[in-house]
């Protein structure tokens, strides 16, 4: 079943309101945000591992990206506590698990063949950089060609000018409330804005967001 497959459409979803769906393995559930096929192809989801659950070893032909939201995610390469961002490139393989349970933001099958680097970033220890406007801080996570991924921290009262992201934009609100002229987006909101879209973002009370630009 396809979910929000049209990349030319703006999508706003309260991920907390999406029902949990079972995965092929017991103990792992998903809240799908976008999906092009049932168990293959491009997908974006919130994923929950129950304590002690695991996936069998599997490959990612077009890569995988994970942001650990709660708990600790693990595989044969290491353990990744909340705040860790990972990128497994196309062709990579692993056997993921979570001994004590975890909550993840996961993107699958969206990386180009030229994106060959494995990345692991502890966002709670990494250095933040000043953004383009006062009150905005940026933590770059990845940059490949025209695709850029980062965390952004907006101090209360931060305003950005009219913004037209080249190649579209995807935002997951992690803390606080992100805003623009179209509405208010509390923590858990996922926003996908297509190529050619524009908005004037701000945050009256402050927020933390995951942002990916240039991939649509």
Per mean pLDDT, which range of 85-89, 92-96, 183-187 is the poorest?
Answer: 92-96
Question: What is the rounded CA–CA span in Å between residue 68 and residue 24?
Answer: 21
Q: How far apart are CA 47 and CA 106, in angstroms?
A: 7
For 133-155, the pLDDT digits (tens) are: 999 999 999 998 888 999 999 99
Give the pLDDT confidence of 173-186 residue by residue, as tens digits. Answer: 999 999 999 999 99
Which ranges in the chain are annotated with CATH 2.60.120.10?
11-122, 129-213
**pLDDT beyond 70 at 50:** yes
CATH number for 129-213 (one of 3.90.550.60, 2.40.160.100, 3.90.226.10, 2.60.120.10): it is 2.60.120.10
Q: What is the DSSP string of the chain?
A: --BS--TTS-EEEEGGGSPPEE-SSTTEEEEEEEESSSSSSSEEEEEEEPTTEE---EEETT-EEEEEEEEEEEETTEEEETTEEEEE-TTEEE--EESS-EEEEEEES---TT----EEEETTTSPPEE-SSTTEEEEEEEEETTEEEEEEEE-TTEE---B--TT-EEEEEEEEEEEETTEEEETTEEEEE-TT--B--EESS-EEEEEEES--
Give the chain's length.
Answer: 216
Domain range 11-122, CATH class: mainly beta
Residue range 46-70: mean pLDDT, rounded: 89
The residue ranking higher by pLDDT, 32 or 165, is 32
Identity of the highest mean pLDDT range in 75-79, 117-121, 140-144, 173-177: 173-177
Q: How far apart are CA 212 and CA 111, in angstroms?
A: 12
Residues sharing a CB contact under 8 Å with residue 65, sequence separation 6 or more, in sequence order: 85, 86, 87, 88, 106, 107, 108, 110, 111, 149
């Amino acid at each position: 079943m396809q979910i929000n497959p049209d990349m030319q459409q703006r999508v706003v979803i309260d991920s907390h309101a999406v029902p949990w769906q079972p995965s092929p393995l017991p103990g792992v559930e998903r809240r799908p945000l976008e999906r092009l096929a049932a168990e293959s192809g491009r997908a974006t989801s919130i994923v929950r591992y129950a304590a002690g659950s695991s996936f069998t070893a599997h490959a990612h032909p077009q890569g995988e990206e994970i942001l650990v939201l709660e708990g600790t995610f693990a595989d044969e390469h290491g353990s990744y506590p909340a705040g860790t961002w990972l990128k497994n490139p196309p062709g990579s393989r692993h056997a993921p698990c979570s001994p004590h349970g975890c909550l993840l933001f996961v993107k699958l099958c969206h990386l180009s063949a030229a994106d060959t680097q494995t990345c692991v970033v502890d966002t709670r220890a990494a250095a933040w950089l000043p953004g383009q406007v006062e009150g905005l801080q940026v933590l770059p996570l990845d940059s490949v060609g025209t695709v850029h991924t980062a965390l952004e921290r907006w101090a209360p009262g931060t305003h950005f000018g009219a913004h037209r992201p080249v190649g579209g934009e995807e935002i997951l609100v992690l803390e606080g409330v992100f805003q623009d002229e179209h509405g208010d987006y509390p923590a858990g909101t996922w926003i996908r804005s297509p190529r050619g879209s524009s908005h004037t973002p701000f945050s009256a009370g402050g927020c933390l967001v995951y942002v990916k630009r240039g991939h649509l």
